[in-house]
Amino acid sequence: METLTARFAELRPTIDNATHDHLIALMDEIGTSRVSDEFTQTCVASIQSGKRFRGLLAYFGASLALQRPLDDPDLDLSALAAGLELYQASALAHDDLIDHAVTRRGAPTPHVRLAEIHRDRGWEGSATAFGAVGAVLVGDLLFSAAQAAVNSQCSLLAPERAFLLMQRFTTMHAEVGLGQYLDIRAENLPLDVEDNVAISVEDVMEVVLHKSAHYSIVHPAILGAIVGGGSPELIQALDSILTPWGIAFQLRDDDLGIFGDPATTGKPAGDDLREGKRTVLLSLAWSHATVDERRTLLGVLGDEDASDEAIAQCATIIEERGRRAHESLIDSLVKEGHRGFDAYPFTEDQRRDLTELAEIITARTA
Protein backbone atom coordinates (compact mmCIF):
# COMPACT_ATOMS: atom_id res chain seq x y z
CA MET A 1 0.00 0.00 0.00
CA GLU A 2 1.25 3.48 -0.90
CA THR A 3 2.47 5.47 2.11
CA LEU A 4 0.57 8.46 3.44
CA THR A 5 3.59 10.63 2.59
CA ALA A 6 3.44 9.53 -1.04
CA ARG A 7 -0.31 10.17 -1.23
CA PHE A 8 0.19 13.63 0.28
CA ALA A 9 2.84 14.39 -2.36
CA GLU A 10 0.41 13.44 -5.13
CA LEU A 11 -2.28 15.69 -3.67
CA ARG A 12 -0.14 18.79 -3.24
CA PRO A 13 -0.46 20.10 -6.83
CA THR A 14 -4.24 20.11 -6.46
CA ILE A 15 -3.96 22.26 -3.35
CA ASP A 16 -1.33 24.51 -4.96
CA ASN A 17 -3.59 25.19 -7.93
CA ALA A 18 -6.71 25.73 -5.85
CA THR A 19 -4.92 28.15 -3.52
CA HIS A 20 -3.64 30.20 -6.45
CA ASP A 21 -6.97 30.15 -8.28
CA HIS A 22 -9.02 31.28 -5.30
CA LEU A 23 -6.66 34.19 -4.64
CA ILE A 24 -6.66 35.31 -8.26
CA ALA A 25 -10.46 35.00 -8.40
CA LEU A 26 -10.82 37.40 -5.48
CA MET A 27 -8.34 39.85 -6.99
CA ASP A 28 -10.26 39.81 -10.25
CA GLU A 29 -13.49 40.40 -8.38
CA ILE A 30 -12.22 43.47 -6.50
CA GLY A 31 -10.56 44.92 -9.60
CA THR A 32 -6.83 45.10 -8.95
CA SER A 33 -4.80 47.02 -11.53
CA ARG A 34 -1.32 48.18 -12.52
CA VAL A 35 -1.35 50.73 -9.69
CA SER A 36 -1.60 47.96 -7.09
CA ASP A 37 0.83 45.55 -8.76
CA GLU A 38 3.40 45.57 -5.96
CA PHE A 39 0.64 44.77 -3.47
CA THR A 40 -1.01 41.98 -5.44
CA GLN A 41 2.33 40.48 -6.44
CA THR A 42 3.35 40.38 -2.76
CA CYS A 43 0.11 38.55 -1.97
CA VAL A 44 0.77 36.02 -4.72
CA ALA A 45 4.39 35.60 -3.60
CA SER A 46 3.13 34.80 -0.10
CA ILE A 47 1.40 31.63 -1.33
CA GLN A 48 4.09 30.38 -3.70
CA SER A 49 5.65 27.82 -1.38
CA GLY A 50 4.96 25.78 1.72
CA LYS A 51 4.23 22.20 2.64
CA ARG A 52 0.43 22.64 2.24
CA PHE A 53 0.12 20.62 5.40
CA ARG A 54 -3.10 22.21 6.62
CA GLY A 55 -4.81 21.60 3.31
CA LEU A 56 -3.57 18.03 3.30
CA LEU A 57 -4.91 17.48 6.81
CA ALA A 58 -8.34 18.66 5.67
CA TYR A 59 -8.34 15.96 2.99
CA PHE A 60 -7.13 13.47 5.57
CA GLY A 61 -9.96 14.31 7.98
CA ALA A 62 -12.55 13.97 5.23
CA SER A 63 -11.10 10.65 4.08
CA LEU A 64 -11.45 9.31 7.62
CA ALA A 65 -15.05 10.48 7.85
CA LEU A 66 -16.04 9.07 4.47
CA GLN A 67 -13.74 6.02 4.64
CA ARG A 68 -12.47 6.84 1.17
CA PRO A 69 -8.90 7.14 -0.12
CA LEU A 70 -7.30 10.56 -0.38
CA ASP A 71 -7.22 10.35 -4.17
CA ASP A 72 -10.93 9.53 -4.52
CA PRO A 73 -12.19 11.86 -7.30
CA ASP A 74 -15.41 12.43 -5.34
CA LEU A 75 -13.44 13.77 -2.38
CA ASP A 76 -13.53 17.44 -3.40
CA LEU A 77 -12.08 19.55 -0.63
CA SER A 78 -10.02 21.83 -2.84
CA ALA A 79 -11.87 24.98 -1.72
CA LEU A 80 -11.44 24.21 2.00
CA ALA A 81 -7.80 23.23 1.48
CA ALA A 82 -7.20 26.49 -0.40
CA GLY A 83 -8.92 28.41 2.39
CA LEU A 84 -6.64 26.89 5.00
CA GLU A 85 -3.53 27.63 2.96
CA LEU A 86 -4.63 31.21 2.29
CA TYR A 87 -5.34 31.60 5.99
CA GLN A 88 -1.87 30.26 6.76
CA ALA A 89 -0.32 32.82 4.42
CA SER A 90 -2.39 35.55 6.05
CA ALA A 91 -1.32 34.53 9.54
CA LEU A 92 2.34 34.37 8.50
CA ALA A 93 2.25 37.85 6.97
CA HIS A 94 1.11 39.22 10.32
CA ASP A 95 3.29 36.91 12.41
CA ASP A 96 6.46 37.82 10.49
CA LEU A 97 5.71 41.49 10.98
CA ILE A 98 5.15 41.02 14.71
CA ASP A 99 8.37 39.01 14.99
CA HIS A 100 10.40 41.33 12.71
CA ALA A 101 11.29 38.27 10.65
CA VAL A 102 13.34 39.04 7.55
CA THR A 103 12.91 35.80 5.61
CA ARG A 104 10.36 33.03 5.36
CA ARG A 105 11.02 29.88 3.31
CA GLY A 106 14.16 31.54 2.00
CA ALA A 107 12.35 34.59 0.59
CA PRO A 108 11.79 38.12 1.97
CA THR A 109 8.76 38.43 4.23
CA PRO A 110 5.95 40.73 3.01
CA HIS A 111 6.92 43.72 5.14
CA VAL A 112 10.54 43.43 4.02
CA ARG A 113 9.59 42.99 0.36
CA LEU A 114 7.31 46.03 0.38
CA ALA A 115 9.88 48.16 2.22
CA GLU A 116 12.45 47.24 -0.44
CA ILE A 117 10.02 48.25 -3.20
CA HIS A 118 9.49 51.59 -1.46
CA ARG A 119 13.24 52.23 -1.28
CA ASP A 120 13.95 51.06 -4.82
CA ARG A 121 11.31 53.37 -6.29
CA GLY A 122 12.38 56.36 -4.24
CA TRP A 123 8.99 57.01 -2.71
CA GLU A 124 8.37 59.56 0.03
CA GLY A 125 8.15 58.73 3.73
CA SER A 126 9.44 55.80 5.75
CA ALA A 127 10.10 52.59 3.83
CA THR A 128 9.91 50.59 7.06
CA ALA A 129 6.53 52.05 8.02
CA PHE A 130 5.22 51.48 4.49
CA GLY A 131 6.35 47.86 4.60
CA ALA A 132 4.71 47.30 7.97
CA VAL A 133 1.37 48.79 6.98
CA GLY A 134 1.48 47.00 3.64
CA ALA A 135 2.09 43.64 5.34
CA VAL A 136 -0.96 44.12 7.56
CA LEU A 137 -3.04 44.75 4.43
CA VAL A 138 -1.49 41.77 2.63
CA GLY A 139 -2.54 39.60 5.55
CA ASP A 140 -6.03 41.11 5.48
CA LEU A 141 -6.50 40.45 1.76
CA LEU A 142 -5.24 36.89 2.11
CA PHE A 143 -7.68 36.33 4.97
CA SER A 144 -10.51 37.63 2.80
CA ALA A 145 -9.46 35.15 0.11
CA ALA A 146 -9.43 32.41 2.73
CA GLN A 147 -12.97 33.29 3.80
CA ALA A 148 -14.15 33.33 0.20
CA ALA A 149 -12.65 29.88 -0.40
CA VAL A 150 -14.26 28.41 2.72
CA ASN A 151 -17.55 29.99 1.70
CA SER A 152 -17.21 28.20 -1.64
CA GLN A 153 -16.85 24.92 0.23
CA CYS A 154 -19.87 25.79 2.37
CA SER A 155 -21.97 26.28 -0.77
CA LEU A 156 -21.53 22.57 -1.53
CA LEU A 157 -22.84 21.46 1.88
CA ALA A 158 -26.16 21.11 3.61
CA PRO A 159 -26.93 24.24 5.71
CA GLU A 160 -26.28 22.61 9.09
CA ARG A 161 -22.97 21.18 7.89
CA ALA A 162 -21.98 24.54 6.35
CA PHE A 163 -22.76 26.24 9.68
CA LEU A 164 -20.51 23.82 11.58
CA LEU A 165 -17.72 24.35 9.08
CA MET A 166 -17.78 28.15 9.27
CA GLN A 167 -18.20 28.06 13.04
CA ARG A 168 -15.05 25.95 13.42
CA PHE A 169 -13.13 28.10 10.93
CA THR A 170 -14.10 31.25 12.83
CA THR A 171 -13.07 29.66 16.13
CA MET A 172 -9.69 28.78 14.62
CA HIS A 173 -9.12 32.38 13.54
CA ALA A 174 -10.11 33.78 16.93
CA GLU A 175 -7.93 31.28 18.77
CA VAL A 176 -4.87 32.23 16.72
CA GLY A 177 -5.43 35.86 17.70
CA LEU A 178 -5.53 34.90 21.38
CA GLY A 179 -2.44 32.74 21.05
CA GLN A 180 -0.56 35.47 19.21
CA TYR A 181 -1.33 37.95 21.99
CA LEU A 182 -0.25 35.51 24.70
CA ASP A 183 2.97 34.96 22.77
CA ILE A 184 3.92 38.63 22.52
CA ARG A 185 2.83 39.19 26.12
CA ALA A 186 5.23 36.49 27.29
CA GLU A 187 8.07 38.04 25.30
CA ASN A 188 7.61 41.30 27.19
CA LEU A 189 7.63 39.90 30.71
CA PRO A 190 10.86 40.52 32.69
CA LEU A 191 12.99 37.53 33.64
CA ASP A 192 14.74 37.05 36.98
CA VAL A 193 17.90 34.96 36.57
CA GLU A 194 17.54 33.85 40.19
CA ASP A 195 14.11 32.35 39.50
CA ASN A 196 14.31 28.86 37.98
CA VAL A 197 10.61 28.94 36.99
CA ALA A 198 10.65 32.43 35.49
CA ILE A 199 9.63 30.85 32.19
CA SER A 200 6.66 28.70 33.17
CA VAL A 201 6.11 25.53 31.12
CA GLU A 202 2.38 25.75 31.85
CA ASP A 203 2.15 29.31 30.52
CA VAL A 204 4.15 28.44 27.42
CA MET A 205 1.96 25.40 26.80
CA GLU A 206 -1.11 27.66 26.79
CA VAL A 207 0.48 29.72 24.01
CA VAL A 208 1.39 26.56 22.09
CA LEU A 209 -2.12 25.18 22.33
CA HIS A 210 -3.90 28.32 21.10
CA LYS A 211 -1.39 29.70 18.63
CA SER A 212 -0.14 26.54 16.96
CA ALA A 213 -1.39 23.11 18.03
CA HIS A 214 -5.08 23.63 17.34
CA TYR A 215 -4.61 25.82 14.27
CA SER A 216 -1.85 23.82 12.60
CA ILE A 217 -3.06 20.28 13.24
CA VAL A 218 -6.39 19.83 15.03
CA HIS A 219 -8.69 22.34 13.33
CA PRO A 220 -7.66 21.52 9.72
CA ALA A 221 -8.31 17.79 10.13
CA ILE A 222 -11.60 18.36 11.94
CA LEU A 223 -12.72 20.89 9.33
CA GLY A 224 -12.15 18.18 6.75
CA ALA A 225 -14.05 15.67 8.85
CA ILE A 226 -16.96 18.11 9.09
CA VAL A 227 -17.09 18.41 5.30
CA GLY A 228 -17.02 14.62 5.09
CA GLY A 229 -20.01 14.35 7.42
CA GLY A 230 -17.96 13.03 10.34
CA SER A 231 -19.84 12.03 13.47
CA PRO A 232 -19.38 13.78 16.83
CA GLU A 233 -17.59 10.61 18.00
CA LEU A 234 -15.03 10.85 15.19
CA ILE A 235 -14.47 14.56 15.81
CA GLN A 236 -13.95 13.90 19.53
CA ALA A 237 -11.51 11.08 18.76
CA LEU A 238 -9.54 13.28 16.35
CA ASP A 239 -9.40 16.01 18.97
CA SER A 240 -7.99 13.63 21.61
CA ILE A 241 -5.44 12.17 19.17
CA LEU A 242 -4.33 15.30 17.36
CA THR A 243 -4.16 17.77 20.24
CA PRO A 244 -1.07 16.19 21.85
CA TRP A 245 0.42 15.65 18.39
CA GLY A 246 -0.25 19.30 17.59
CA ILE A 247 1.62 20.33 20.71
CA ALA A 248 4.47 18.02 19.72
CA PHE A 249 4.41 19.60 16.24
CA GLN A 250 5.16 23.01 17.75
CA LEU A 251 7.77 21.60 20.11
CA ARG A 252 9.55 20.07 17.13
CA ASP A 253 9.34 23.44 15.38
CA ASP A 254 10.95 25.10 18.39
CA ASP A 255 13.78 22.57 18.33
CA LEU A 256 14.34 23.21 14.63
CA GLY A 257 14.32 26.94 15.30
CA ILE A 258 17.57 26.51 17.20
CA PHE A 259 19.12 23.31 15.91
CA GLY A 260 17.62 23.02 12.41
CA ASP A 261 19.48 23.52 9.14
CA PRO A 262 18.50 26.94 7.70
CA ALA A 263 18.78 25.50 4.18
CA THR A 264 16.00 23.08 5.11
CA THR A 265 13.87 25.18 7.47
CA GLY A 266 13.96 28.31 5.30
CA LYS A 267 14.81 30.66 8.16
CA PRO A 268 17.98 31.50 10.10
CA ALA A 269 18.83 29.31 13.08
CA GLY A 270 18.44 31.12 16.37
CA ASP A 271 15.80 33.59 15.22
CA ASP A 272 13.45 32.42 17.98
CA LEU A 273 16.04 33.54 20.50
CA ARG A 274 16.57 36.88 18.76
CA GLU A 275 12.82 37.39 18.78
CA GLY A 276 12.65 36.57 22.50
CA LYS A 277 10.33 33.59 22.05
CA ARG A 278 9.39 31.81 25.27
CA THR A 279 9.33 28.17 24.20
CA VAL A 280 8.98 24.96 26.15
CA LEU A 281 12.54 24.09 25.12
CA LEU A 282 13.81 27.37 26.55
CA SER A 283 11.72 26.89 29.70
CA LEU A 284 13.22 23.45 30.34
CA ALA A 285 16.74 24.70 29.71
CA TRP A 286 16.21 27.76 31.91
CA SER A 287 14.95 25.70 34.84
CA HIS A 288 18.11 23.54 34.83
CA ALA A 289 20.66 26.22 33.91
CA THR A 290 23.00 27.94 36.30
CA VAL A 291 22.52 31.61 37.10
CA ASP A 292 25.44 32.52 34.85
CA GLU A 293 23.98 30.46 32.02
CA ARG A 294 20.66 32.23 32.45
CA ARG A 295 22.45 35.57 32.19
CA THR A 296 23.92 34.38 28.91
CA LEU A 297 20.48 33.38 27.66
CA LEU A 298 18.97 36.65 28.85
CA GLY A 299 21.65 38.58 26.99
CA VAL A 300 20.43 37.17 23.69
CA LEU A 301 16.67 36.91 24.20
CA GLY A 302 14.95 39.66 22.25
CA ASP A 303 18.20 41.05 20.83
CA GLU A 304 17.68 41.27 17.08
CA ASP A 305 21.38 42.03 16.62
CA ALA A 306 22.68 39.09 18.66
CA SER A 307 25.77 37.65 16.98
CA ASP A 308 25.99 34.14 15.59
CA GLU A 309 28.60 33.40 18.24
CA ALA A 310 26.24 34.44 21.04
CA ILE A 311 23.45 32.38 19.51
CA ALA A 312 25.77 29.36 19.29
CA GLN A 313 26.70 29.76 22.96
CA CYS A 314 23.03 29.82 23.95
CA ALA A 315 22.33 26.81 21.74
CA THR A 316 25.00 24.88 23.64
CA ILE A 317 23.37 25.76 26.97
CA ILE A 318 19.95 24.71 25.70
CA GLU A 319 21.38 21.50 24.26
CA GLU A 320 22.95 20.56 27.58
CA ARG A 321 20.22 21.73 29.93
CA GLY A 322 16.91 21.17 28.18
CA ARG A 323 16.99 19.26 24.92
CA ARG A 324 16.87 15.73 26.31
CA ALA A 325 13.85 16.52 28.49
CA HIS A 326 12.27 18.25 25.50
CA GLU A 327 12.65 15.15 23.33
CA SER A 328 11.18 13.03 26.11
CA LEU A 329 8.19 15.35 26.28
CA ILE A 330 7.65 15.04 22.52
CA ASP A 331 7.78 11.24 22.85
CA SER A 332 5.23 11.28 25.65
CA LEU A 333 2.87 13.49 23.62
CA VAL A 334 3.09 11.11 20.67
CA LYS A 335 2.18 8.20 22.96
CA GLU A 336 -0.70 10.19 24.45
CA GLY A 337 -2.15 10.65 20.98
CA HIS A 338 -1.85 6.95 20.24
CA ARG A 339 -3.93 6.16 23.32
CA GLY A 340 -6.83 7.98 21.66
CA PHE A 341 -7.04 5.35 18.91
CA ASP A 342 -9.39 3.26 21.02
CA ALA A 343 -11.97 6.05 21.22
CA TYR A 344 -13.25 5.32 17.71
CA PRO A 345 -13.53 2.20 15.51
CA PHE A 346 -10.77 3.12 13.08
CA THR A 347 -9.92 0.52 10.46
CA GLU A 348 -6.45 -1.02 10.39
CA ASP A 349 -5.56 1.08 7.35
CA GLN A 350 -6.70 4.23 9.14
CA ARG A 351 -4.65 3.34 12.22
CA ARG A 352 -1.63 2.81 10.01
CA ASP A 353 -2.15 6.20 8.37
CA LEU A 354 -2.60 7.91 11.73
CA THR A 355 0.62 6.33 12.97
CA GLU A 356 2.47 7.61 9.91
CA LEU A 357 0.87 11.02 10.40
CA ALA A 358 2.35 11.19 13.90
CA GLU A 359 5.80 10.61 12.34
CA ILE A 360 5.23 13.31 9.74
CA ILE A 361 4.15 15.78 12.42
CA THR A 362 6.75 15.12 15.08
CA ALA A 363 9.84 13.69 13.41
CA ARG A 364 10.19 16.28 10.63
CA THR A 365 13.34 18.24 9.78
CA ALA A 366 11.68 21.25 8.16
pLDDT, tens digit (0-9, with 9 covering 90-100), for 30-55:
998 888 999 999 999 999 988 999 99
Same domain, 125 and 239: no
Same domain, 152 and 163: no
For 121-145, the pLDDT digits (tens) are 999 999 999 999 999 999 999 999 9
Measure Cα distances from 310 to 281, 293, 298, 301, 324 in Å: 18, 12, 11, 10, 22
Q: What is the pLDDT of residue 34?
A: 86
For 294-343, the pLDDT digits (tens) are 999 999 998 988 999 999 999 999 999 999 999 999 999 999 999 999 98
Same domain, 181 and 316: yes
Measured CA to CA, the distance from residue 289 to residue 169 in angstroms comes to: 41
CATH number at residue 249: 1.10.600.10
Same domain, 344 and 279: yes
Domain count, the chain: 2
How would residue 262 be classed by pLDDT, with cut points 50, 70 and 90? confident
Number of H-type helices and E-type strands within the chain: 17, 2
CB atoms within 10 A of CB 6: 10
User: What secondary structure does DSSP assign to 276-305, as a single string?
Assistant: T---HHHHHHHHHS-HHHHHHHHHHTT-TT
Q: What pTM was computed for the model?
A: 0.93
Same domain, 193 and 309: yes
Same domain, 130 and 197: no
Q: How many CA atoms lie within 13 A of 251 on its CB side?
A: 30
Same domain, 194 and 142: no
Listed residues 123, 156, 189: the one ending a domain: 156
**Is residue 172 pLDDT above 70, yes or no?**
yes
Q: What is the pLDDT of residue 260?
A: 85
Same domain, 195 and 339: yes
Q: What is the pLDDT of residue 240?
A: 97
Same domain, 185 and 74: no
Same domain, 85 and 116: yes
Listed residues 113, 132, 156: the one ending a domain: 156
What's the rounded mean pLDDT across residues 15-40?
94
Q: What is the pLDDT of residue 365?
A: 72
Same domain, 26 and 164: no
**Is residue 265 pLDDT above 80, yes or no?**
no
Flag the least confident range among 1-5, 9-13, 15-19, 231-235.
1-5
Q: What is the pLDDT of residue 270?
A: 84
Listed residues 141, 156, 171: the one ending a domain: 156
Q: Structural domain of residue 268, as residue ranges?
A: 158-365
Measured CA to CA, the distance from residue 139 to residue 73 in angstroms comes to: 32
The answer to whether residues 224 and 58 touch, using CB atoms and an 8 Å cutoff, is: yes
Measure Cα distances from 222 to 169, 198, 211, 214 in Å: 10, 35, 17, 10
**Is residue 366 pLDDT above 80, yes or no?**
no
On average, the pLDDT of the chain sits at 94
For 55-75, the pLDDT digits (tens) are 999 999 999 999 998 888 888
For 70-121, the pLDDT digits (tens) are 888 888 899 999 999 999 999 999 999 998 888 888 889 999 999 999 999 9
Same domain, 221 and 82: no
Q: What is the pLDDT of residue 266?
A: 67
Q: What is the pLDDT of residue 261?
A: 81
Q: What is the pLDDT of residue 155?
A: 96
Q: What is the pLDDT of residue 241?
A: 98
For 198-244, the pLDDT digits (tens) are 999 999 999 999 999 999 999 999 999 999 999 999 999 999 999 99
Measured CA to CA, the distance from residue 310 to residue 15 in angstroms comes to: 41
Based on its alpha-carbon atoms, the radius of gyration of the chain, rounded to whole angstroms, reads: 21
